[in-house]
Chain A
Amino acid sequence: MTVSLMSEAKPAPKPSSETVADEKVVHGVVAEFSDVDSLLAACERVRDAGYTKADAFTPFPVHGIDKALGIKPTVLPWIALAAGFSGTCIALLMQIGMNGDWFEGFSYPYIISGKPFVSLPAFIPVSFELTILLASFGTFFGMWALNGLPRFSNPMFTSPRFDRATDDTFFLFLDAKDARFNEAGAKTLLADLGGEFIEPVLDDESSKRIPKFLITSIAVVIAFSLIPALLVARMRVTKSSSPRFHIIPDMDFSPAKDAQQVSTLFADGRVMRPDVPGTVTRGELDWDVDFKTGINMEKLTQLDPSRARHLVAMMQSDVEVGAEDEVVEEVKPDEPKTEEPKAEEPKTDEPKTEEPKTDEPKTEEPEAGESEGENAEADQPEADKPEMKEDEPAAAEEEKPATEEKPAAEEKPATDEKPATEEKSSTDEKPATEEKPADSETADQPQPEMKAETPVAEPEEAQTPAEQPTEKPEAPTALAPASGPTVDTTPWLTENPIDLTDATLERGQSQFNIYCAVCHGANGRGNGLVNQRAQQILATTWTPPSNMHDATLYADVYPDGKLFSTISNGIRKMPGYASQISAKDRWAVVAYVRALQASQNASIDDVPKAQRTKIEKAQAKVKAELEKAAAEAEAAATKPAM
């Protein structure tokens, strides 16, 4: 495998006229030079002697040798220009064609950030890149093509001395194809010019056959490389009833892909894992249940020990996302086993209950609010989050007039100010409750309340009514303490547990303005930007946020603890903010809300004496102005009449 060996890949160029005594083809005569200057001088002499096909071989580009040898400039720049220009055109055509709207059926016009389909500025970067790419290809491949390379056979390489042409020696070669060439004359000329080791360039004599092992190994490699392609080709034309083969476990196959779905991984079918009883989540050791729930635990223990215990257990494992992930991962090995039956289930067992379940949570989640109270209660024993429990009293209270059987549509007008008609159509209590038993029966879903209001739950409606009664007795037992249908007996904290200072109120204000004001408005009147927008677009699924200045939200009827709980866990449409606002800040927000409420009912007595006169003055001034304005308006109104 020497280079000369490689040379057999291509037949050597046909020899020209000159031959020597031993019948070998002579391609020319070569001489060595040891430095640049003597080579250049020799080149000039050779050129002047009339040789046009002489060539020099040098280890590095020698400046000025093209002139010395009379080499003409190359056309390479034109090739590069043409290639670059075609790159620009291809890029522009491609982009306009693909993203523009010029070619019906081919184009894929798609509105993005309000830009026109054919946006020239946005097309320039890719056009530039393709111009450069193609120009570079043109230059690179053009250069090798013009040089006649790659070429694995070259008679120059037959002489072992020529190896030094890439090291430190300079060669001058007189080509036999040159019209002036004759071997003896050429040798004399080179000798005159100071060339050393003058010798003829002979034809490459080594074997012209490509070694067998090379051919065999190439053939084998090609054969092997065809196997995958053939396999793919075969798979594309055959049919099979077995499931698709997936090399990479995509998200579609994740057992934890949907929190509201039934999982076949666990015996209880739940995806969201409840907390392990008696454990404490990392970082949660110094918890203070009162502080975090807004409930006076001592009193609750007296009133309802089981609920208190449950609440404490829930607080202990205020599950973090990370912890939950671990749980899921641990059981992963089971995954393959369970997957198979799951795939077949729909066909045989209970297709009607399974299918809708996967859809509902996605579509219905936002509707969760209205009947939260009841449904959360129904599920309480299974619930893994404390939020649900705390919601229930809050919700229950608002739904005071409602009995369990009453449709939600009746409850709402009492509490929220949503148009009743809309409510009726979109959130029908009945189908919702009817559907529930199916859930609890099959899966004991953690958050079935999400489904409670399914407006599109018609399919189940038909099947499930029979099961309805089973839910009713279940619910009350679960609710026991809080749902005492009408009165909220939860011993809420009535006093804010944090120190009320200016700093606290400011903190509360800043948090309120960040998180609450978008809906409730900076003044708490329930008319924040989001609400305004929702009214504007007549959003049908929108529940207007509460007005903080409504008497039902004052501290006497809506204790601080309850307000805290609502902020933490949400109510109706409002999500819980426990994950975004720290408990301390939530209490600060409670304090600020109280301050807001107070601000609307303040009397002059609330103002420090020192500042009273100032305010009174200002009031008097405003009053006077108003009176004056009124008088003027009156005058203006009467004038035209006169």
Chain B
Amino acid sequence: MSLAISNGLDNTVERPGERAPLVLGESSYHSITEAVCRIAENPPSKLWVISFLVAVHLATMLGLCIAYLFYTGVGVWGNRNPVFWGWPIVNFVFWVGIGHAGTLISAILYLFRQEWRTSINRTAEAMTIFAVVCAGTFPGIHVGRAWLAFWLAPYPSLNLWMWPQFRSPLLWDVFAVSTYATVSLLFWYMGMVPDLATFRDRSKNPFRRAVYGVLALGWSGSSRHWMRYEKAYALLAAFAAPLVLSVHTIVSFDFAVSQVPGWHTTIFPPYFVAGAIFSGFAMVITLMVPARKIFSIEKLITIRHLENMCKIILTTGMIVGLAYGTEFFIAWYGQVTEEKFAFVNRAMGPYWWAYWTMITCNVISPNIFWWKKARTTPWIMFVVSIFVNIGMWFERFVITVTSLSRDYLPSAWAYFEPTWVDWAMLVGSFGLFFTLFLLFCRLMPIVNMAETKATLAKELHMAHKHSAHKQHH
């Protein structure tokens, strides 16, 4: 069973006509199981414990900030006339965007038969869900009286006797984000069931066995089950692909259906989606580069996987750059005074520093990936991914704040300044994200074992055929 593929091969080089392996080393089905289960079965490393403690503290800080916000009111934020959509909405759009890479990897790359997705899709999907949790927090607390946020739901209320306003883009958001969270969760969980069954079957501890047993729903690996399971997986992928497009499209509608200069641009939907994928892949790299090292799964998540992600970052970075350019061009071409001003103001106005941070991080920094050396060196891609994360946060900042702070009424112009609560909440949301992510790393199968084994089987089959073919000659 250990029909091995040559060890230490550089799988970033692919001769046309041959396919480079995606699982490296002396891999067998069992070694994959071992490599993945070990992470959850062995006691946590010191590094994990320390990171977890830090993350939990930051998450607690977020919780305390929210409590403070509830007690005192939204005045604790820097949101002031005319920038009422300041920091919290920036964070919301940022986190929702991060989530998109997960669905893209699990659904769209699946539909395009990109097999390299198999070993990273689980982590990416988990990232999606945790990012959506962080994202959902911000509009939730931004409604002012968060304890009445359930008014957004169309429930028959005898007190109000009225319904939510479905012609409002903000309500579309409620539906889009909650649908997205639900479907992502189903997709993630469904993908995990066979691996949870592996966990169950390996557990010696009866408690673990019971818990994983319940979670695995009695999965046995029957071929009939696999057949329906794969069909369901393909269907969910087909639903999740347009869904992921729709979510950021609807987020972009929040801005673009308005008449605020700099917001009302028809290119927003595809441009937001591309930006979301861009930032999401950057976050996947930020997570995977250390994770594969710490959990020693370099043979499953190979340089090839990372290189492909770098290529997607490069592509989406170029799309985002093209969109920035198009916006600028059309603002000039359209010759609407306010629109022209809005864009000049972005680049030269009081927030020029945010704009040029964005351009540097989003448009210039990914260009390093034109060089193969950069695409295959983990630390370089890690650094660039951090840049992209920063840049994409700033993109949302630039869009939200520059347009609002200077719109049609010059006498109402003002400069937005965040308060310490704003900062603490941003940092705290990262704490929440990493808390959930680190828990996931310890408790759940972080690599999709079943699919990786299927990929290995295919590669073994090809290698077998290839050698048979050679003998034949």
Contact A167 to B223, CB < 8 A, known contacts A125-B250, A152-B218: no
Contact A94 to B154, CB < 8 A, known contacts A61-B454, A143-B228: yes
Asked whether B175 is an interface residue with its Cβ less than 8 Å from the other chain, the reply is: yes
User: B220 and A154: CB pair below 8 A?
Assistant: yes
Complex alpha-carbon distance, A37 and B3, angstroms: 13
Asked whether A3 is an interface residue with its Cβ less than 8 Å from the other chain, the reply is: yes
Which A residues touch B410, using CB under 8 A?
A: 514
User: B209 and A3: CB pair below 8 A?
Assistant: yes
Asked whether A59 is an interface residue with its Cβ less than 8 Å from the other chain, the reply is: yes
Which A residues touch B213, using CB under 8 A?
A: 2-3, 6, 152
Asked whether B224 is an interface residue with its Cβ less than 8 Å from the other chain, the reply is: yes
Asked whether A102 is an interface residue with its Cβ less than 8 Å from the other chain, the reply is: no
User: B167 and A112: CB pair below 8 A?
Assistant: yes
CB distance from A212 to the nearest CB of B (A): 16
- Partner pick for B235 among A76, A144, A156, A248, CB 8 A cutoff: A76
Interface-located stretch among B195-203, B354-362, B420-428: B195-203
Which A residues touch B462, using CB under 8 A?
A: none
Which B residues touch A143, using CB under 8 A?
A: 190, 228-229, 231-232
Asked whether B227 is an interface residue with its Cβ less than 8 Å from the other chain, the reply is: yes
User: B198 and A147: CB pair below 8 A?
Assistant: no
CB distance from B338 to the nearest CB of A (A): 15
Asked whether B332 is an interface residue with its Cβ less than 8 Å from the other chain, the reply is: no
User: A251 and B73: CB pair below 8 A?
Assistant: yes
Asked whether A66 is an interface residue with its Cβ less than 8 Å from the other chain, the reply is: yes
Complex alpha-carbon distance, A18 and B230, angstroms: 33
Asked whether B243 is an interface residue with its Cβ less than 8 Å from the other chain, the reply is: yes
CB distance from A564 to the nearest CB of B (A): 19
Which B residues touch A478, using CB under 8 A?
A: none
User: B450 and A133: CB pair below 8 A?
Assistant: no
Chain A 161-179 against B: per-residue CB contact (8 Å), 1 yes, 0 no? 0111111100100000000
User: B201 and A55: CB pair below 8 A?
Assistant: no
Asked whether B53 is an interface residue with its Cβ less than 8 Å from the other chain, the reply is: no
User: B232 and A58: CB pair below 8 A?
Assistant: no
Asked whether B45 is an interface residue with its Cβ less than 8 Å from the other chain, the reply is: no
CB distance from A269 to the nearest CB of B (A): 24
Contact A166 to B197, CB < 8 A, known contacts A1-B206, A76-B235, A95-B166: yes
User: A156 and B451: CB pair below 8 A?
Assistant: no
Asked whether A239 is an interface residue with its Cβ less than 8 Å from the other chain, the reply is: no
Contacts between the two chains (Cβ within 8 Å), count: 234
Complex alpha-carbon distance, A507 and B253, angstroms: 38
Which B residues touch A85, using CB under 8 A?
A: none
Interface size on A, residues (CB 8 A): 85
User: A133 and B166: CB pair below 8 A?
Assistant: no
Chain B 105-127 against A: per-residue CB contact (8 Å), 1 yes, 0 no? 00000000000000000000000
Complex alpha-carbon distance, A166 and B30, angstroms: 10
From 114 to 146 in chain A, residues with beta carbon under 8 angstroms from any chain B beta carbon are: 115, 119, 122-123, 125-126, 128-130, 132-133, 135-137, 139-140, 142-144, 146
Asked whether A589 is an interface residue with its Cβ less than 8 Å from the other chain, the reply is: no
Complex alpha-carbon distance, A446 and B321, angstroms: 56
Which B residues touch A123, using CB under 8 A?
A: 166-167
Which B residues touch A73, using CB under 8 A?
A: 227, 231
User: B33 and A55: CB pair below 8 A?
Assistant: no
User: B176 and A129: CB pair below 8 A?
Assistant: yes
Chain B 170-189 against A: per-residue CB contact (8 Å), 1 yes, 0 no? 01100110010011001100
CB distance from B366 to the nearest CB of A (A): 31
CB distance from B280 to the nearest CB of A (A): 19
User: B220 and A136: CB pair below 8 A?
Assistant: no
User: B222 and A580: CB pair below 8 A?
Assistant: no
From 16 to 31 in chain B, residues with beta carbon under 8 angstroms from any chain A beta carbon are: 28-30
Interface size on B, residues (CB 8 A): 78
CB distance from B243 to the nearest CB of A (A): 5
Contact A56 to B223, CB < 8 A, known contacts A133-B182, A167-B201: yes
Complex alpha-carbon distance, A521 and B206, angstroms: 83
Which one of B33, B145, B226 has the greatest number of beta carbons of chain A within 10 Å?
B226
Contact A108 to B228, CB < 8 A, known contacts A165-B221, A167-B30: no
CB distance from B235 to the nearest CB of A (A): 5
Chain B 1-39 against A: per-residue CB contact (8 Å), 1 yes, 0 no? 100000000000000000000000000111001000000
Complex alpha-carbon distance, A95 and B240, angstroms: 23
Residue of B nearest to A171 (CB): B221
Residue of A nearest to B450 (CB): A60
CB distance from B424 to the nearest CB of A (A): 18
User: B222 and A56: CB pair below 8 A?
Assistant: yes
Asked whether A552 is an interface residue with its Cβ less than 8 Å from the other chain, the reply is: no
Chain B 340-362 against A: per-residue CB contact (8 Å), 1 yes, 0 no? 00000000000000000000000
Complex alpha-carbon distance, A251 and B71, angstroms: 9
Asked whether B461 is an interface residue with its Cβ less than 8 Å from the other chain, the reply is: yes
User: A139 and B232: CB pair below 8 A?
Assistant: yes
Residue of B nearest to A157 (CB): B220
Which one of A36, A37, A65, A112 has the greatest number of beta carbons of chain B within 10 Å?
A36
Complex alpha-carbon distance, A514 and B411, angstroms: 6
Chain B 147-179 against A: per-residue CB contact (8 Å), 1 yes, 0 no? 100000010000001111111110110011001
User: B179 and A71: CB pair below 8 A?
Assistant: no
User: B1 and A132: CB pair below 8 A?
Assistant: no
From 220 to 262 in chain A, residues with beta carbon under 8 angstroms from any chain B beta carbon are: 247-251, 254
Which one of B73, B166, B182, B186 has the greatest number of beta carbons of chain A within 10 Å?
B166
Asked whether B217 is an interface residue with its Cβ less than 8 Å from the other chain, the reply is: yes
Asked whether B396 is an interface residue with its Cβ less than 8 Å from the other chain, the reply is: no
Asked whether B440 is an interface residue with its Cβ less than 8 Å from the other chain, the reply is: no
Closest 9 CB pairs of A and B: A98-B163, A168-B29, A143-B232, A150-B217, A1-B210, A163-B201, A125-B172, A151-B218, A166-B198
- Given contacts A77-B231, A128-B246, could you give 8 more A-B pairs where the C-beta distance is less than 8 Å? A55-B223, A59-B453, A76-B232, A122-B166, A126-B172, A132-B179, A168-B453, A254-B73
User: 24 A-B contacts, Cβ less than 8 Å apart?
Assistant: A2-B206, A35-B1, A36-B457, A57-B222, A59-B29, A62-B454, A66-B227, A73-B227, A74-B231, A84-B239, A94-B154, A94-B166, A95-B166, A112-B168, A123-B167, A125-B172, A128-B242, A136-B186, A143-B228, A163-B202, A165-B220, A166-B221, A167-B29, A168-B453
